[in-house]
Amino acid sequence: MAKLGPGAVVGGLTLAALAVVGLLAFQANGAASRAVAAAPSASSSAAGAPSSAAPSASAQPSAPPLPGESGAGLRVVYSLKERQVWLVDPKKPVPVLASFKVTPGAVQPSLGAYTVYSRSAASDGTDGRKVEHVVRFAQQSGTVFGFSALVDESAQPTAAPDPKSKPGGIRSSRPDAQLLWDFAPNGTRVVVVA
């Protein structure tokens, strides 16, 4: 059996410690995002009347109100025109838990109600860039539609995008993608409105 020198042991322990610190930092970041989203908005009245939208982790001060035709029940609402997402839980004192801007892909989904059918913690986007917190809800004419965030906005694509692909990825900030990921497991309704 080969003997390990003191340098190899110290190096291995250092790498293990760095991995643990990185994991704890990642978990703390997600917990902070969820805590910000769960905090009541400053615009809520003292009587506890719900506001039309609570700020998300990106602290959007003037979010448009939840569209009236967005359905009922627990749901994610995505407005094509507003490029806005609302996370709605009618059982909460303030039903709109978060609202944030998104950047749509080259192709938009049709109006209607869908269901989250697939999720990936990390993946490659159709544009060849690394994405995380991928929440897929529709497939239409070969295009997959889902919400995600770029892991590194400054990074170049790891591979050339497929020229035949029609990107349907709907991108948000990393904190907002974390909120949506935590809110929308498989089976969650997604309502796409004009």
Q: How far apart are CA 97 and CA 113, in angstroms?
A: 20
Q: For residue 127, what pLDDT is reported?
A: 80
Q: How many domains does the chain have?
A: 1
Q: How far apart are CA 55 and CA 58, in angstroms?
A: 7
Count of beta carbons in the 10 Å neighbourhood of residue 151? 15
Q: For residue 51, what pLDDT is reported?
A: 33
Local mean pLDDT, 10-residue blocks, the chain (194 residues): 58 50 46 40 32 40 87 97 98 97 96 98 89 97 95 74 80 98 98 98
CATH number (domain holding residue 146): 2.40.440.10
Range of the domain at 136: 52-193
For residue 151 the two structure tokens come to 């892991």
In a domain, 89, yes or no: yes
In a domain, 23, yes or no: no
Instruction: Select from 180, 76, 81 the least CA-distant residue to 131.
Output: 180
In a domain, 39, yes or no: no
In a domain, 78, yes or no: yes
Q: How far apart are CA 177 and CA 136, in angstroms?
A: 12
Cβ contacts of 165 within 8 Å, gap of 6 or more: 126
In a domain, 2, yes or no: no
In a domain, 18, yes or no: no
For residues 52 and 171, the answer to whether their CB atoms sit within 8 Å is: no
In a domain, 112, yes or no: yes
In a domain, 36, yes or no: no
Q: For residue 163, what pLDDT is reported?
A: 67
